[in-house]
Amino acid sequence: MTTLQRKGPSLDFKNGRVDLTHGGGGRAMAQLVEELFIECFDNDALRQRNDQACLAVEAGRVVMTTDGYVISPLFFPGGDIGSLSVHGTINDVAMAGAVPLALSASFIIEEGLPLADLKRIVISMAAASKAAGVPVVTGDTKVVEKGKGDGLFIATTGIGQVPEGVRISGDLARPGDAILISGTMGDHGVAVMSLRESLGFETTLHSDSAALHGLVADMVAAVPAIHCLRDPTRGGLASTLNELASQSGVGMRIREADIPIRQEVRGACELLGLDPLYVANEGKLIAIVPGETAERLLSVMRSHPLGKDSAIIGTVVEDSHHFVQMETSFGGNRVVDWLAGEQLPRIC
Amino acid sequence: MTTLQRKGPSLDFKNGRVDLTHGGGGRAMAQLVEELFIECFDNDALRQRNDQACLAVEAGRVVMTTDGYVISPLFFPGGDIGSLSVHGTINDVAMAGAVPLALSASFIIEEGLPLADLKRIVISMAAASKAAGVPVVTGDTKVVEKGKGDGLFIATTGIGQVPEGVRISGDLARPGDAILISGTMGDHGVAVMSLRESLGFETTLHSDSAALHGLVADMVAAVPAIHCLRDPTRGGLASTLNELASQSGVGMRIREADIPIRQEVRGACELLGLDPLYVANEGKLIAIVPGETAERLLSVMRSHPLGKDSAIIGTVVEDSHHFVQMETSFGGNRVVDWLAGEQLPRIC
């Protein structure tokens, strides 16, 4: 590309830092786009170098979803803001039963961010995108002055196509439906919090950050009648179940003993004063399905690597209050409410 | 919605401030989404309350584009970060000749932002979206601690469908093509800078921020053979022409005398030491078309309210260096290079 022929040396990805010119729309920004984003994400749409990507779609339903990622710190056990921004947005596409087609990425960078950190994040993001088979086809870069941001924020948007016959939505839970989750709860949030609080769990606890569209494709193929799918991210299982109960106008009964939680997560939660049901997950999903299909779906989920710890954790009931109630491990019963305050700021 | 029945009083949009709970994924965030975003944006997709919106599309080509908005200050003559984020992203969709279908919006809010400011911005954004006929169908809210952001950043993504037969791309400029612009240059950047520098031009200078998809639809209908369209935002006319020249592997010759610039913009640029050719626009476009269609396109552009000051400003030439050269008003000739440094930080 001529841009490169006419300018000076390559960017210094070893010792350089992002400055305001990298967001200015001129030569420095063009260089960053060439040497980092086009180089790493490496796909035809991006190589077109237009302000928009062009994609072929079939007639039907397209889903669109967006998420801003502001996680702190930028790197954590099991991932970083880059891989997280790919996984999280793919998952929101997948939760409609849709096949993800493409991602866009908007980078808001604080002046002074080491170019080495930015490159490491973009490489990780590109690796996550390639592993998932969902390209980052277009993007944008802005730089704000030092002290007006916090290293890096990324907003990713995803689009996908919904297969014919699939209709999955948060308002479709019905009394008698079974509630399943695809694995252990709280891994992501506790991994990040342990790092922040220097609890020294780094060697054992990792974020569960993962792209779930492969698991969802298997689930939809086996049980097309799935009613709801949602990933319990911020606010955790408790808040997400409350969202779904409220949206569908139903109540829920779950059993504490059936909710898989890692021993290390349980221990860290005790130390940190957290309830694992409110802690964020980034590679897990909740499925609500007609009761009679639950066992079949469970076996399909368990046979996928990302669903091996799946469990049936409860049922949907009639309840004009739309309460989520939990039978505790001690045989009691308690209402599991929405997250009230802010338990874990900047967890995603 | 039950969420609302089960919680306390409404948000205090008069004296309240955004706090970390509004991004926490719990009850406070649900309330902000209900009382502000769903209320203002008001469309079926958003009312579904899923983490993704579902849209019907026809078979063909879909374009996707994203932009982060970090403009400072948040409010400026002729708009605010909300309306700008709608116009800017619609324009990037339109620059492919596409019909915009929908927008998504990711809000990254600094703790402490007055809820009144956020509401004013969302109302403005909703008004811009409604006026353009392009709904904001899905979104996300994150809150970062005070001092880790700067009031509000918004990343909007747009999707649109390209009509059959239209093929517009930055690499299609050919020697002999005419270069047109849709109006005066530099209005947006100078309006924002004047405000920042307290130059006191507020009464006369306004941002040109506007959605150009209507103008583009007229242009594409009249001249389907348009080769390139691009909006000269950051880096201004000069950088954008250089981008196009580089992408298409051509040179350009433009005439200074034919580039419309408001007298107030010219005056402010002299005071501020700016070159209007490098100043951002947010409601203007560059069109590159086969020479023989230029006059017809010009007359179509001039008959649209957003193109009344359109002009033919030059031609595409063969040039292995891909230089943009300008015949100056004094009869000289100079190379118009890319923006080298950062002239106007956070102009969009």
Q: Say which DSSP state B122 is in.
A: H
Burial of B15 (0-12, 13-18, 19+ CB in 10 A): exposed
Partners of A106 in the beta sheet?
A: A140, A155
Residue A10 pLDDT more than 90? yes
Average pLDDT (A118-138) is: 98
* Whole-angstrom distance, CA of residue B335 vs CA of residue B329: 14
What radius of gyration do chain B's Cα atoms show?
21
Q: What is the mean pLDDT of chain A?
A: 94
Partners of A288 in the beta sheet?
A: A179, A228
Fold (topology level) of A2-162: 60s Ribosomal Protein L30; Chain: A; (3.30.1330)
Pairing of strands B286-289, B228-230: antiparallel
Q: Which of B102, B32, B54 is nearest to A170 (CA)?
A: B54
* pLDDT, tens digit, 9 for 90 and up, residues A308-324: 999 999 999 999 999 99
Residues from chain B that touch A19, judged by Cβ atoms under 8 A, are 342
Residue A197 pLDDT more than 80? no
DSSP string covering B47-59: HT--SSEEEEE-S
Closest Cβ opposite residue B96 in set A50, A149, A230? A50
Contact A92, A67 (CB under 8 A): yes
Residue A198 pLDDT more than 80? no
Average pLDDT (A163-192) is: 96
Which band of pLDDT confidence, cut at 50, 70 and 90, is reported for residue A5?
A: very low
Residue with tokens 């579902």: B54
Domain B178-335 has CATH 3.90.650.10: yes
Q: How many CA atoms lie within 13 A of A50 on its CB side?
A: 28
- In angstroms, the Cα distances linking A281 to A201, A210, A271, B28, B231 are 17, 10, 19, 20, 40
B112's tokens = 């402490």
Q: Which amino acid is at A45?
A: A
Best mutation site among B27, B106, B169 for testing chain A: the one with the most A CBs within 10 Å? B106
Q: Which of B198, B190, B326 is nearest to B263 (CA)?
A: B190
Q: Which residue of A has its CA nearest to B90?
A: A52
Per-residue pLDDT for chain B (348 aa), expressed as one digit of tens each?
A: 334 445 578 999 999 999 999 999 899 999 999 999 999 999 999 999 999 999 999 999 999 999 999 999 999 999 999 999 999 999 999 999 999 999 999 999 999 999 999 999 999 999 999 999 999 999 999 999 999 999 999 999 999 999 999 999 999 999 999 999 999 999 999 999 888 877 666 557 899 999 999 999 999 999 999 999 999 999 999 999 999 999 999 999 999 999 999 999 999 999 888 999 999 999 999 999 999 999 999 999 999 999 999 999 999 999 999 999 999 999 999 999 998 876 788 999
Closest Cβ opposite residue A233 in set B25, B138, B149? B25
Q: Where are the domains of chain B?
A: 2-162, 178-335
Residue with tokens 């791309």: B169
State chain B's maximal CA–CA distance in angstroms: 73
Q: Are B92 and A48 an interchain contact pair (Cβ–Cβ within 8 Å)?
A: no
A278's tokens = 């409110």
Hey, is the C-beta of A136 within 8 angstroms of any chain B C-beta?
no
Closest Cβ opposite residue A25 in set B25, B153, B239? B239
* pLDDT, tens digit, 9 for 90 and up, residues B52-105: 999 999 999 999 999 999 999 999 999 999 999 999 999 999 999 999 999 999
Residue with tokens 């368990």: A302
Best mutation site among B3, B46, B50, B226 for testing chain A: the one with the most A CBs within 10 Å? B50
* pLDDT, tens digit, 9 for 90 and up, residues A279-311: 999 999 999 999 999 999 999 999 999 999 999
Reported ipTM: 0.96
Q: Which residue of B has its CA nearest to A102?
A: B64
The predicted pLDDT at position A7 comes to 55
Alpha helices in chain A (DSSP H): 2-5, 27-32, 39-41, 44-47, 81-94, 115-132, 187-196, 213-222, 236-248, 263-272, 294-302
Query: Is residue B96 left, alpha or beta, with left meaning phi > 0 and alpha meaning psi from -120 to 50?
Result: alpha
The predicted pLDDT at position B1 comes to 34
Residue A342 pLDDT more than 80? no
Q: Are B153 and A108 an interchain contact pair (Cβ–Cβ within 8 Å)?
A: yes
Hey, is the C-beta of B144 within 8 angstroms of any chain A C-beta?
yes
Q: Which of residues 256-295 of A touch B (CB under 8 A)?
A: 278, 280
The predicted pLDDT at position B2 comes to 37
Q: Which of B78, B111, B286 is nearest to B188 (CA)?
A: B78
* Whole-angstrom distance, CA of residue B192 vs CA of residue B189: 5
Q: Say which DSSP state B337 is in.
A: P
Residue A3 pLDDT more than 70? no
